[in-house]
């Protein structure tokens, strides 16, 4: 005997009954809500996510093909990225539709992850991949100024395309121009293969300009796609604007709004008048050859060693050193349309007018010519869009 009192069968039975009642056990008192709640919690989401194009698709168009939608629910998350992890920006519209903010790159594999919730908060996800088309025909743009350059206040950002563009709006959307300090910059097309960007007035000195070319995958014309992704940065230098008066035969050089120097010049003689208007320096040549045949003047002249030449138009207008002009400078107009400054053959004298002006000038500086009685230079003849009103530029 261990001294403990034995438990009666009646007490043991009562204890078991109490345990059974407390445990729930599915007896007569169970209303079934436990099972119902669990089943409801495990019910799949009613939201359905659809991704176009279909999973694994190839040769997908770079524009208009990608769209993500949700039915019986709202999109809560959309991630699209290329194989390097670069994201594609986009917007959810009305909670049920997502489209990319811009075109996609060509020959690129993309991954899609999208999530939607139904009215009860249950989530449904969709993951897929697709690859964009590989174009048979492409175009690129050559641009001015170059990355990292410093230019004068008149220099636009100009792009010349290797193929004529018939979808200009799509190309413009793929080019962004930002400045510091901020200023409105607008594009203008010259024909179908050139676009220039500029502000309403000359750039402010010190402005930092950043241009992003996101042309890869842009369909510039049917079946012809861009293939460039570039960021170009350039800086606007000090302000230099020079005014040539063909009547007085003088040029006034202004630096940051103050007169720096006045220089005697000669401009185009009767029948060969110099264009009027605002012209932007686009090229500087220490010495160059000038042949009348290249500008439609036959064999009237062929000078193989023109010193200190600065190009103002594509058609052949320069402001340059002139060692053969005699006493024309400051007295009368004797050139075939260029602006001539006194110089010496070989250009060795750094103190003479042409050398001084050449050394003080940079690409993008402005030369304004007036009182020649000729017509205004065409806006696309060089970088001379400043001769257009802002209203015409932005049409």
Catalytic residue numbers, as ranges: 320, 338
- Kindly give, in sequence order, each residue whose CB lies less than 8 Å from that of residue 218, ignoring residues fewer than 6 positions away: 62, 63, 103, 167, 170, 171, 174, 225, 226
Q: How far apart are CA 92 and CA 220, in angstroms?
A: 27
Q: How far apart are CA 156 and CA 364, in angstroms?
A: 8
Task: Assess whether the previous peptide bond of 362 is cis (omega < 30° from 0).
Answer: no
Q: Give the Cα-Cα-Cα angle 302, 303, 304 (nearest 5 degrees).
A: 115
Task: List C-alpha distances in Å: 263 to 121, 167, 329.
Answer: 79, 47, 9
Q: Please give the helix or strand (H or E) that residue 262 lies within, else none.
A: strand 258-266
The phi and psi torsions of 211 (rounded to 5 degrees) equal -115, 130
Task: Assess whether the previous peptide bond of 209 is cis (omega < 30° from 0).
Answer: no
Q: Give the Cα-Cα-Cα angle 230, 168, 203 (nearest 5 degrees).
A: 60
Q: How far apart are CA 152 and CA 68, in angstroms?
A: 47
Q: How far apart are CA 24 and CA 30, in angstroms?
A: 7
Numbers of helices and strands, H then E, in the chain: 5, 28
Residue pair 198/185 in contact (Cβ under 8 Å)? The answer is yes
Residue pair 237/216 in contact (Cβ under 8 Å)? The answer is no
How far is C-alpha 146 from the chain's CA centre? 14
Q: How far apart are CA 356 and CA 308, in angstroms?
A: 9
Sign of the alpha-carbon torsion through 24, 26, 32, 35: positive
Q: Which of 199, 231, 237, 190 is closest to 212 using CA atoms?
A: 231
Q: Please give the helix or strand (H or E) that residue 9 lies within, else none.
A: helix 9-22
Residue pair 140/220 in contact (Cβ under 8 Å)? The answer is no
């Amino acid at each position: 005997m261990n001294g403990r009192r034995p438990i009666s069968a009646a007490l043991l039975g009562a204890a078991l009954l109490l345990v059974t009642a407390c445990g729930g056990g599915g007896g007569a008192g169970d209303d079934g809500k436990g099972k119902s709640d669990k089943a409801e919690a495990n019910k799949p989401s009613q939201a359905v996510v659809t991704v176009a194009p279909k999973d694994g698709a190839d040769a997908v168009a770079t524009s208009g093909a990608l769209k993500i939608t949700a039915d019986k629910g709202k999109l809560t998350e959309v991630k699209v990225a290329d194989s390097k992890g670069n994201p594609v920006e986009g917007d959810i519209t009305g909670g049920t539709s997502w489209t990319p903010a811009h075109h996609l790159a060509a020959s690129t594999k993309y991954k899609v992850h999208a999530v939607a919730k139904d009215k009860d908060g249950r989530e449904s996800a969709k993951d897929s991949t697709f690859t964009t088309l590989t174009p048979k025909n492409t175009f690129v743009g050559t641009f001015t100024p170059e990355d990292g350059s410093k230019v004068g206040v008149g220099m636009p950002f100009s792009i010349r395309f290797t193929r004529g563009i018939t979808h200009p709006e799509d190309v413009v959307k793929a080019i962004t121009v930002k400045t510091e300090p901020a200023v409105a910059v607008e594009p203008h097309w010259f024909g179908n293969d050139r676009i220039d960007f500029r502000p309403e007035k000359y750039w402010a000195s010190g402005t930092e300009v950043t241009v992003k070319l996101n042309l890869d995958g842009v369909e510039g014309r049917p079946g012809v796609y861009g293939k460039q992704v570039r960021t170009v940065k350039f800086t606007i230098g000090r302000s230099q604007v020079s005014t040539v008066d063909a009547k007085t035969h003088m040029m006034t050089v202004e630096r940051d709004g103050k007169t720096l120097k006045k220089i005697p010049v000669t401009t185009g003689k009767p029948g060969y008048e110099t264009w009027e208007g605002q012209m932007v320096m686009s090229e500087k040549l220490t010495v160059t050859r000038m042949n009348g045949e290249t500008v439609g003047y036959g064999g009237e002249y062929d000078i193989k060693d023109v010193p200190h030449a600065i190009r103002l138009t594509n058609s052949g207008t320069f402001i340059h050193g002139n060692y053969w002009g005699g006493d024309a400078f400051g007295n009368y107009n004797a050139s075939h349309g260029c602006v001539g400054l006194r110089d010496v053959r070989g250009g060795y004298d750094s103190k003479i007018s042409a050398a001084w002006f050449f050394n003080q000038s940079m690409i993008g500086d402005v030369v304004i010519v007036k009182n020649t009685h000729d017509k205004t230079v065409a806006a696309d003849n060089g970088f001379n869009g400043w001769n257009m009103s802002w209203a015409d530029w932005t049409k």
